[in-house]
Amino acid sequence: MEYTRSCWIQNCRGGRRGVCTAVIILGILISSALLAYTAFGPKSDNRSIRQIAIIFRHGDRTPTETYPNDPYLDYSWEDGWGALTKVGMLQLYQLGEWIRLEYDSVIGKKYETSSAKIMSSYADRCIMSAQALLAALYRPEPGDNFMNDLPWRPVPVHSIPRDTDKLITVKHRCPTLDFELKEAYVNESIKNGEQMASYFNELAYHTGKKISTITDVEFLYNTLEIEANHGLELPEWTKKFYNKEMREIASRSLSLFTSNTFQQRLRGGPLLKEITNNMMLSRNGHDKIKLYLYSAHDITLVNVLRAMGFTNELFKPDYGAALIFELVLAEDFEENDLEVHVKVKYLNNTEMYEATPLKIPQCKEPCKLLDLLRVWKDVLPSDWDSECLN
């Protein structure tokens, strides 16, 4: 080591400083490249992953509704109400890039019907979000383009009509769920009615709209948030209301739809059941699909998280938030071993580089798939239709 160091010193002092400087700069560039590759390059520790399922929220959108006193009643929103914006398209494109970076070695370069399946809510913003994500995830290799100046190839996105959806939005008619939701509103009113009464009345005065539930507050919050994010100056009265407290009320509203085990079972349970069924098929060698994608809404993520047992937290998922399930072979697996466990991660938005690992409540780590089925037995529906009628 000393000999090497002295040689460097002699060379740099011996009139070869230009060469020496060039070598040092080259060394710094190589080190920087290696560091960047380590931080942002393809992950190499995913070889044990057998299957991935990702539920993600759509990207930035325009408001779905407004209020009578809104100064922007006649504002011309891009593509109308409830539409995916260009910002939202970019957010989901970035999520597609993140998935490619994170799971490149698992999912393969090209889309194949035998290796990936993409489902979406009926909403245009969800279907378009899935398409934007897929444009980044499955960029065609040189020579695979069907048009030379278009670096894109179509990938099928399967959507479920609103009124028949029992999986993502769960809008299929279910009298028992309707009853349970009404009960949840009654309980919320009993618990917080007096405290919220003046809050509701003051908001109704400012907005010119009847505000009587925390869901009314949630919809108002969403509208104000979108207007603020799009650079529109909010009315003076919003300085008192558009704040952390209002966001927490909006989060409470989202939790009402899964306020008991029955609601968790029929709202978040169907998607959990599909994911675990696919994992069991993969475990037993009957499902070769590596990647399942579900383009959904904030309420979908909340329903699933609460069905999983995260009932002590309040969630208000950002645009592009993603809940990730990994089916992983045990570290000490043998060639024919079927011992698999499940890892869950949460990516809060498309600006993050690292997903946060979640510990599944009541499941000892590493959480084995068979153990998880026992933990979730009360929230995995056996017959959704018959349970809705009873």
Query: Could you give the angle at which helices 269-283 and 298-307 cross, rounded to 10 degrees?
Result: 70
Judged by DSSP in three states, 68 sits in coil
End-to-end CA distance of the chain: 79
Cα torsion 73, 78, 83, 84 to 10°: value is -140
Phi, psi of 378 (to 5 degrees): -80, -10
Residue 206's identity, in one-letter code, is H
Question: Residue 104, exposed/middle/buried by CB under 10 A (0-12, 13-18, 19+)?
Answer: middle
* CB-CB neighbours of 187 under 10 Å: 13
The span from the CA of 335 to the CA of 78, in Å, is: 54
Question: Residue 192, exposed/middle/buried by CB under 10 A (0-12, 13-18, 19+)?
Answer: middle
Residue 298 annotated among the catalytic residues of the structure = yes
The span from the CA of 300 to the CA of 160, in Å, is: 14
Region of residue 79 (left: phi > 0; alpha: psi -120 to 50; beta: else):
left
- Let me know: does 381 contact 359? Beta carbons within 8 Å: no
Catalytic residue among 60, 70, 216, 298: 298
Catalytic residue among 58, 206, 297, 341: 58
Q: What angle do CA 301, 372, 376 make, to 5 degrees?
A: 60
Q: What number of H helices and E strands is found in the chain?
A: 13, 7
Give the Å distances, CA to CA, from 241 to 71, 201, 227, 309, 315. Answer: 17, 12, 15, 31, 19
CA-closest candidate to residue 224, choices 242, 203, 248, 239: 242
Handedness of CA 283, 284, 285, 286 (dihedral sign): negative
Q: Which residues are catalytic?
A: 58, 298
